[in-house]
Copies of this chain bind each other. A is one copy, B any other.
Amino acid sequence: MKKRPKKNKKTSETDADWIGASLEKTMPGLEMCRLCHMGAGRGRKCLLPSQKAVAEVLDGLIGVLFPGCHGICPLEFGRSRSALRDQLRQVALTLEQQVAQALRYQCQVDNCDNCEDCAERARQAVRHVIDSLSAVQHTLQLDIRAAYEGDPAARSPMEIVLSYPCLQAIAAYRLAHLLYEKEVPLIPRVMTELAHSRTGIDIHPGAKIGPGFFIDHGTGVVIGETCVIGRNVKLYQGVTLGALSFPKDEHGHPIKGIQRHPRVGDNVTIYAEATILGGDTHIGDGAEIGGNVWLTHSVPPNSKVYNVQPDLKVKKGRGKSPP
């Protein structure tokens, strides 16, 4: 006999019941969201881009860029040129669809009624990506070389490709930047945030970054939208290249298109956890910025900037000192 009279009151609902009753109360509220101006209700005429599809595109492009390395996105060994071409064609078609959806969404937000251009603009953006792939691949090889030469722990260039998070973050950024140049909404940021999630490195697709770029360790790095970074620059974990404050228009909205983030010259090294802020801050070529430095003004080329060693309270313990 399975009756438990003591519990009868509480468990009188059947399995179907208790969930059903809760759902009945909850669904109308959720329904409101379905019909909101951001949702997929009847009032909205287009699909949104999908994170999953964008991730496939990103991984597919990186797979094409490193076709022989079973690294970031391994391809089968010895795939023929035609197999590579087929893969790239497939990726390009998915990207075209996603970009078109992103453009149509932005049209709605901006109350633009000339959506006929979206398909053509999507094609132009994807063509720009494909046409730039060789150049991006060449730049990434310079990035790999910089990492190999910059890290004493690296044993081979392939170790960079197979395991360094910076390569994944930089590759995603360089591809996303191509779409940013064509003013594609949503997709570039989805790409770089995917890399941010995987690596802890947050590079806005709008930044401009020269070749030979290396970030060691990487967790916590933030590079803002209007940063300009030269050639052969090396960052360590936790470096922020950020904004100080930004002028706002009469509605309190930040004015777009203003230089809010620093410019960093060629051959600059910025050590861990340094914070460099402001659109008027220029770091000259060859400069070296020490760990934890907080910098909101420009420094000339070949400068070395370090924190004055802070005073420490040391309460010495008992025990034999280490050798």
Contacts and interface: CB of A to CB of B under 8 A. Distances in A.
B305 A321 contact: no
B240 A237 contact: yes
Interface string A62-91: 001111111110110110010011001100
Given A30-B84, A40-B77, A50-B74, 18 more contacts: A11-B120, A18-B127, A23-B89, A30-B134, A30-B137, A38-B68, A39-B68, A48-B70, A50-B70, A106-B156, A152-B243, A156-B186, A159-B185, A162-B186, A165-B193, A200-B200, A306-B312, A310-B310
Contacts of A285: 319
Interface in A44-69: 44, 47-52, 64-69
Contact of A186 (B10, B158, B302, B303): B158
A196 interface: yes
A250 B306 CA distance: 28
A26 interface: yes
Contact of A19 (B40, B130, B225): B130
B322 A298 contact: yes
A67 B93 contact: no
Given A68-B33, A308-B310, A7 B222 contact: no
Query: Which 6 residue pairs of A and B lie closest in terms of their CB atoms, listed nearest first?
Result: A302-B317, A40-B68, A29-B134, A301-B319, A39-B68, A152-B254
B272 A300 contact: no
A123 B18 contact: yes
5 contacts: A22-B127, A30-B84, A30-B137, A284-B322, A304-B317
A113 interface: no
A contact residues, range = 35 or more
A88 B23 contact: yes
A256 interface: yes
B67 A34 contact: yes
Contacts of A105: 156, 158
Interface in A205-222: 206, 217, 219-220, 222
